[in-house]
Structure 1
Amino acid sequence: MPSRKFDTRSRAARQAHTMTGNFFNLYSHRFARVAVGVPRCKVADPAFNAAQTMALARDAVAQGAALVAFPELGLSAYTCDDLFHQAALLDGCERALAVIVEASRDLPAALVVGLPLRVNHALFNCAVVVAQGRILGVVPKTYLPNYGEFYEARQFTSGDCTVARHIDLAGQRAPFGASMLFDVSDVPGLRFHVEICEDVWVPIPPSCFAALAGATVLVNLSASNIVVGKSGYRHQLVGQQSARCLAAYLYTSAGRGESSTDLAWDGQAIIYENGELLAESERFLDDSHLIVADVDLERLSHERMRQTTFGQSVLRHQAETERFQVVSFELGLAFDQALPLQREVERFPYVPADRRRRDQRCNEVYNIQVQALVQRLSAIDMDKVVIGVSGGLDSTHALLVCAKAMDRLGLPRSHIIAATMPGFATSGRTLQQARALMRLIGCTTLEIDIRPSCEQMLKDIGHPYAQGQDVYDITFENVQAGERTSHLFRLANFHNAIVIGTGDLSELALGWCTYGVGDHMSHYNVNASVPKTLIAHLVRWVAETGTVEGDGSQVLLDILATEISPELVPGKSDGGAPAQRTEQFIGPYELQDFNLYYILRYGFAPAKVAFLALAAWQDREKGEWPEEAHVARNQYELAAIKRNLGIFVHRFFKTSQFKRSCVPNAPKVGSGGSLSPRGDWRAPSDSEKAVWEADLANVPETGPDA
């Protein structure tokens, strides 16, 4: 990958370019590439250590990183013990730092390096932030471990024990203190804080207050020797700190070259974002090594904005946050070339790619739905439900939930009144699947031909179909949907039951449901916060786990293999393909669920969603996704991504909110959000879509290699 050159344009021009930039450059979408380096070191050899550090720094910059962190006391090595009080070593470390400062002049990245420094007759364990020939700040370690194998208080003084606010170092005057934030002004949202090793092991790490003061990236320069079990604890510590602070966290520990007199070193480097592991180095490597990750700064910002208790915490700890000094600087990043995302973006954000995690997700979602239905039936003192069964995915899964709920309540499954209602376009395949499924479940089965009542309705309203004309308009379709719904509600009255809704989250998002009928209205809907892609995996999970009797797995697999269609318009021949293909109207559900997740959960603008979709749906090496062998390995070019995203924007923001404003009660099943007007989504029914379409217009039609 080519190196980026220093950008000599004005600050205003660079900031403007940051907000637009090259669509195919990750920085244009408020990502920042960060790196953690673990250089091979030699104890008390600052010149060697500086050379190893700069080699990794250049490698990181060549890969597009804007921030690179290195280990604690990396220029001296951590294990110098009483050598830290030798003037020759300390002088050598300062000379090595001067070399790094000079070498950084042509690098558009901030480097964070560790070394011992003398300040006002005391020795401090420090992190120095360097960028483009400048020392931006010096951060002393606050908490000095002096237990077990650690004796830092023997050599060093805590950063709390100084009155110095600036120091002279390498011929420059630099800010000094633990309460500093470093703001990269030409990378919006990249504001980082530095703490050192033990600082994150204490009950209230300094980075907690730094995050409240605005830091989105937390950097820890650590040495951290290795003992059995410590690696896992580092993961817990760093992961939880990143989650608690709604931040990214970069952690590095010392590696090969540190003294093994009493200790061993594994060189573990970790990068987390809001509790999610983005990158980890291989441990116990002989050579210098580097990890790189793309941090989503906008996602972090959105989470803090959404989680309003974060802002309450800022107010509660105002005294601590006001102590922070902000050091602003520019890196001169140029965004006019493609820099694709290296971060893994899952194609199915509602469905984990890993089979074990996917099974756990399905089990939990299924049980949430069942438990919610059990509670509703118990609360209203009813023991029967009515459900329409079409032979398609949504009603299949809802019926499975009803069956399990009856089992939990100790009621016979005959208390489920399941009705399949063939109409003018019902295919033989879906009708047979509905019959087989109801037999499998053991519910009370009704088959009601709605064509006579539909014909009467069409005649009553003077529809051309009643005069023998083949007019299959929206009225023709909705008469059928309405008749089915009317039957279900009257059956519920007759049997003292409630109607269970089957419509899913994807249909609500796209408005692909008829107002007031079965896929929109019910007494209780178990599927309303479950997207279509997840429902497919839930049905497959039930089939694969063998929780249905007899030939039940094959029945479910047949339903999964059926093309999605409302079956409201007759086809040209019996037994042929359906006349209506849902995904031809609204786009592939796998793409639209992807769009839904990032727009609903994180509020991302369409251009960023398209950028993420391109990263997720680009060609992958054969066998790279072995856990998705059952999923069609579709590839989508940018033009298709943009086109389908346009469909989503139009339907979600312009035409469908009035349907979502009056949906029945339904359980929320995941952090991906729901569209309940009482829960995750409150929006006006008559808003405009112009700003989303304007942003979508920034998406090119073809990729960078076209």
Structure 2
Amino acid sequence: MSVLKIAGAAVNQTPLDWEGNFNNIVSAIQEAKEAQVEILCFPELSITGYGSEDLFLSYWYPRKALVYLQKTLPFSQGITVCLGLPVRLQSSVYNCTAVIEDGKILGFVPKQFLAYDGVHYEFRWFTPWKAGEIISFDFFGQEIPFGDLIFHKKEFRYGFEICEDAWQGEKRPGFRLKEKKVDLIFNPSASHFAMGKSKIREDLIKGSSRILDAAYFYINLLGNESGRMIFDGEAILAQYGKLLVKTPLLSFKSYQLIRYDLEKNAPQATALRAKHSKKEEFTQAASLALFDYLRKSRSKGFVLSLSGGADSSTIAVLVAEMVRRGVEELGTPVFLEKIHRSKDIDPKTSIKDIVGHLLTTAYQGTKNSSNDTLISAQTLANSIGAKFHHWLIDDEVTSYTQKIEQAIGRDLTWKTDDITLQNIQARARSPIIWMLANINNALLLSTSNRSEGDVGYATMDGDTSGSISPIAAVDKHFIIQWLKWAEKKLGYRGLKGVNSLQPSAELRPLEKHQTDEDDLMPYPVILEIEKLAIRDKRSPIDIYLILKDELSLPGDVLKGYISKFFRLWSRNQWKRERLAPSFHLDEFNVDPKTWCRFPILSGGYKEELRELEELDE
């Protein structure tokens, strides 16, 4: 029985890091050759990185990618290697997989369907290839087949679907590969991480192996490549509709290799059973994203305004998890080397001490802050090993307030100036925490979440200040549930105080008993409205008709919540435009730079909300 030794290599690449990307590729090839692998497939755009943005539009960038493909040829002796790169043909750029073997190029296969929804803008850079078309491409004086190709290795015929190609139903290239009786289909991908997506992807690949009557091998990119999107490094092999191989997600390594001995006409093997947990996936993705952002920006660590509340506490724990997971997978010396701290942090130091080197926190209290949140913040910081500072900003708030009162000739009061008096407290915290970040040559972590982004419940230049916003794509309801899970399942006992508190901005006087949900609406309700309004793009009336049977709320109350959501959403687009870069972590987000564009100026759903109010049931 013929056996083909195949492998996939998930690589953590960085745009414009030509040598770093090349070294990752070569290291993976060498490891595969040592394991006697015969075909090694890398992910989509593995030479350049997927997140190269408008660099793809230049003439020099695709050309340089070809130069690095040429540099890889000597390493393909005795092995077939499939590499992703952009290729320019006159005025068009194509997203291609190049197949190289024994120092030669066998051909280029361009992507036929481009991703254009959600976080993807591939039509800006690339042109889709026409099915069935094959031309000749001049590769440094050699004529190479370019187009809808299949290849042979031993007794196996193999071909490619590149990422989005596989999601096209009856139009997908795989059906033509099936007609050509291929035994193996590779899917080199740059498929962004989202909680729950691994299960969807797994089902697609198992189904593909069954309906296309071929072994189906999917290989994804790895890591926070260029700032926003995270790739989980997933590699999945399926045959006869059954899962055969699946890599652990979200490795901290530079590359991750997975191998399999594929038998032609083999009997059905025992299927694997994969576990899926959104809370665990969120933890892995966010901690890896922080790790990559830290090392790729060559920053010395993180600074966080730790309020003792849910959002900032979540971020503190994610930094601690970044250290714990990174050290456990890589070992302390390699972990410190990757974050450029091997010279000033002892490799024998504990995980808790490393957190102290990397995370500095500060509780910035006012007369409106409670002792409960101070204790909550200090307890958590101490429990994970973070540096903790505590200072009051009342003098700064008073100074600003007195100046404006003198300028306008009247006193500010909570009755007439509520928002102003709240916001000045949040903004007064920003300059000093930025000072600490600058002193430490560190990244300032912004603490706003997606639910706050929806309704503008965040102070510009206050809690939105930061270099990176790790949880801006995650809803507050999920965060509250995750914190309880992290306390019990991950063992962060320092979260006990956080989990006992009701979320509050603590910007009004304590006797007013301010809570977030009183200011807005219950967070689970925000989530349900948000999913229908933003993810599914439903109108206010549609949302009401859907939710009135799902939520146990009086009709007038539900109408009020929906109206409030849309009014605040429309009014606060300018805030979302200014949020710090955030990680894409869920099935959708509200970042206009990556997922949801909305006009800054609009009529604010005035007519649609009037129709909702007048709806007679």
TM-score normalised to the size of structure 1?
0.44
State the structure with more CA Rg. Answer: 1
